[in-house]
Structure 1
């Protein structure tokens, strides 16, 4: 289960570089860390910190209001092919650890895109000219507003719509993982099966005295 995502508002982190891969997002030397909690500290680690561990001056995640501690930037506007490269779910967990719930780009790595949706992050694919305008808005510290039910993103006086599969939308809005979605879709069938099985095989349900 993740926190349900219905609406979202705040600043957007601008990452215009193309082909930001999962090794940039979550460097391979941290892969032995498998717990989700606290992974935000490793997100974009080699861009955020120098060799001594000091913050890199001027990097977007080290500037207000985009720093994780500001809790004010739940969006990323990214360059093309964001999240490409090797499959590592920690990359998505680390981004979630920054407080990000929505990433906007012209395209994503296929596995990364799927992992986002499974972990409560909405990836939005929009045309290049739209993303370019949103990048400028993000750099200008304009506020973004998302309405997932309406499948709309509003920045200033402009509203953009986006596509999303209905089951993915339901999962994000309800905070369901894949098991939660299956239970929702097949709850009646599961109940009917259990009722039939209990009648046919009562010994399976016998209670100890």
Structure 2
């Protein structure tokens, strides 16, 4: 998993509420267990017309947002089914950070496991960043995970909170397996102690 320290880029605005995982990655794209190639299907029902051509009105098809790595989204993002293909598709497209007022729990957990930073802000702060995102290339954000803050295009700063374990994993590029391996020496020491004190095991 790639480390997440500082991310600078344009944020794409998606002010819709209750965007579920079927909207993020439609069921037609769930036939694979590979994590690559799913970016093509991200928001497919909104990004493409029935004939497969692009919908120019969808935000990620607009020139300013085609390479966006940050999304500013509406409330309750990622609700619906627990499909892990949703964060896979976001990551494959290039999204590394999503900002909202709230996220669905399972989607929230799956995103962190795949190296995507999810930031929850209050409605006032969120509205400010949604306005920034609407500025296109003029609304660049800097996400600094080491400092736990977001630097806006005008130089002002918004701080955010994040669970320290999740923060450590992102900064170090660790998934749950990597986090366990990081404790390998402690685990080995524990197993050695147990085998000496419980000879019957």
Q: Same fold (TM over 0.5)?
A: yes
What TM-score do you get using the length of structure 2 for normalisation? 0.91
- Distance in 2 between the 1:113 and 1:197 partners? 36
Alpha-carbon shift at residue 177 of structure 1 (Å): 0.7
Alpha-carbon shift at residue 28 of structure 1 (Å): 1.4
- Distance in 1 between the 2:48 and 2:18 partners? 20
- Distance in 1 between the 2:50 and 2:12 partners? 23
1:132 to 2:127 alignment: yes
Alpha-carbon shift at residue 33 of structure 1 (Å): 1.9
Structure 1 equivalent of residue 100 of structure 2: 105
- Distance in 1 between the 2:109 and 2:37 partners? 22
What TM-score do you get using the length of structure 1 for normalisation? 0.88
Structure 1 equivalent of residue 90 of structure 2: 95
- Distance in 1 between the 2:195 and 2:127 partners? 59
Alpha-carbon shift at residue 189 of structure 1 (Å): 1.8
Structure 2 equivalent of residue 204 of structure 1: none
- Distance in 1 between the 2:104 and 2:196 partners? 49
- Distance in 1 between the 2:85 and 2:63 partners? 25
Structure showing greater radius of gyration is: 1
Q: Any idea what SS the aligned residue of 1:65 has?
A: helix
Do 2:29 and 2:38's aligned partners in 1 also have CA atoms closer than 8 Å? no
- Distance in 2 between the 1:39 and 1:99 partners? 11
Alpha-carbon shift at residue 183 of structure 1 (Å): 2.2
Alpha-carbon shift at residue 194 of structure 1 (Å): 6.0
Could you tell me which runs of 5 or more consecutive residues in structure 1 were left unpaired when the two chains were aligned. Answer: 201-209
Please show how residues 25-104 of structure 1 align to structure 2 within 5 Å. 25-67=24-66, 71=67, 73-104=68-99
Structure 1 equivalent of residue 110 of structure 2: 115
| Count of residues in Structure 1 that have an aligned counterpart in Structure 2 | 194
- Distance in 2 between the 1:129 and 1:198 partners? 56
1:165 to 154, 163, 174: 163
Q: Any idea what SS the aligned residue of 1:8 has?
A: strand
Structure 1 equivalent of residue 185 of structure 2: 188
CA-atom RMSD in angstroms: 1.7
